[in-house]
Amino acid sequence: MVPRLYIVIPCYNEEAVLPITAPLFLEKIKSLMERKKIREDSRVLFVNDGSKDATWEIIQKLSADNPVFQGISLSRNRGHQNALLAGLMEAKDKCDITISIDCDGQDDIHAMDQMLDEYLDGAEVVYGVRSSRKKDSFFKRTTAQGYYRLLNVLGAEIVYNHADYRLVSSKVLKEFANFKEVNIFLRGMFPLVGFKSTCVYYERTERIAGQSHYPLRKMLSLAFDGITSFSVKPIRLITTLGFVVALLSAIGILWAIYAALTGNSVAGWASLASITCFLGGVQLVCIGIIGEYIGKMYLETKARPRYIIAEYTEEMDKENQT
């Protein structure tokens, strides 16, 4: 059976890049249709993540000109992960497979062919993996690789060098819909859903136009979310650290008693001050990490909606009503 495909593309302030990449997506989906790899009623689904520029107007115009293009618009900016989730959840009951991809042309759209082949061979999830990071700055490359290693050490199953370019079948998405957490890190969550999966390798290029929305601050916050959403090991490390410090201080106390008894106790103001400061720092870091988890729990218990769809393009609207 030929599958119906939805290509899901989150867009935030992308008016510079969308007019360039939309025709590329169209060309790709048309060529897949012509080769009978996907159904004729397959779609490109844009998710406007509360853009402040003309992104939503561009999406509406694309959709008016060609029904292959469809779009939903979130009520406000919710961030890449939530926008993508909104698109996937919208698509899951309408199609057989989704492919999520960024709208900036960085991910090689031709890898989709291979992803589809893997799907036809039985894979339910196909991860797009960057084969090299030559185009990245040295800083981004080393920090990213260190980060993936760290995540694995901390016990989050995560595919090395895979971001959010992936094929997911609607079967998997329907199971995924039961993951109700508010703190989401999709690339770490799909491995948890399970099902047969495989990887497809591609070269990642530079952004075609516009700017990255991931400055260092957001990158660090995504990185931190990734760790704290998947692993409680940092809290365990704190306990271990506590034991180590306690042991060291016990040794220190024994040493101090010994020094006092043998009469050569020193007027050690400097050492005392530095130990106090050091321990103060350790404690603050530990409280911070625990606080991060409590904050996450707070957000989870509130269970607020992860996104709110404000508007649909016309055809989607009709399709939803029938």
Residues that bind Mg ion (CB under 5 A): 102, 104, 106
Taking the least distance from each CB to ligand UDP, the nearer of 227 and 286 is 227
Q: How far is the CB of 11 from ligand UDP (least distance, A)?
A: 5
Tokens of 130: 């960057």
Binder of residue 80, out of ligand UDP, Mg ion, none (CB less than 5 to 8 A by kind): ligand UDP
Taking the least distance from each CB to ligand UDP, the nearer of 45 and 123 is 45
Q: How far is the CB of 157 from Mg ion (least distance, A)?
A: 24
Which DSSP state fits 76? S
Binder of residue 10, out of ligand UDP, Mg ion, none (CB less than 5 to 8 A by kind): ligand UDP
Binder of residue 14, out of ligand UDP, Mg ion, none (CB less than 5 to 8 A by kind): ligand UDP
Q: How far is the CB of 106 from ligand UDP (least distance, A)?
A: 5
Taking the least distance from each CB to ligand UDP, the nearer of 83 and 123 is 83
Cα–Cα distance, 33 to 27 (Å, whole number): 10
Residues 77 and 50: beta-carbon distance below 8 Å: yes
Cα–Cα distance, 114 to 283 (Å, whole number): 50
Residues 170 and 133: beta-carbon distance below 8 Å: no
Taking the least distance from each CB to Mg ion, the nearer of 49 and 102 is 102
Q: How far is the CB of 218 from ligand UDP (least distance, A)?
A: 8
CB atoms within 10 A of CB 6: 25
Binder of residue 214, out of ligand UDP, Mg ion, none (CB less than 5 to 8 A by kind): ligand UDP
Taking the least distance from each CB to ligand UDP, the nearer of 14 and 118 is 14
Residues 84 and 47: beta-carbon distance below 8 Å: yes
Binder of residue 103, out of ligand UDP, Mg ion, none (CB less than 5 to 8 A by kind): ligand UDP
Handedness of CA 136, 137, 142, 147 (dihedral sign): negative
Q: How far is the CB of 124 from ligand UDP (least distance, A)?
A: 24
Q: If phi over 0 gives left and psi between -120 and 50 gives alpha, with beta otherwise, what is residue 105?
A: left
* Residues at the contact surface with ligand UDP, assessed by CB under 6 A: 10-12, 14, 49, 77, 79-80, 83, 102-104, 106, 212-214
Q: How far is the CB of 82 from ligand UDP (least distance, A)?
A: 8
Handedness of CA 195, 116, 118, 102 (dihedral sign): negative
Q: Label residue 289 exposed, middle or buried (CB < 10 Å: 0-12, 13-18, 19+).
A: middle
Taking the least distance from each CB to ligand UDP, the nearer of 66 and 221 is 221
Cα–Cα distance, 293 to 68 (Å, whole number): 43
Taking the least distance from each CB to Mg ion, the nearer of 28 and 204 is 204
Which has the closest alpha carbon to 125: 202, 39, 187?
187
Residues 8 and 85: beta-carbon distance below 8 Å: no
Binder of residue 179, out of Mg ion, ligand UDP, none (CB less than 5 to 8 A by kind): none
Q: How far is the CB of 164 from ligand UDP (least distance, A)?
A: 8
Cα–Cα distance, 291 to 294 (Å, whole number): 5
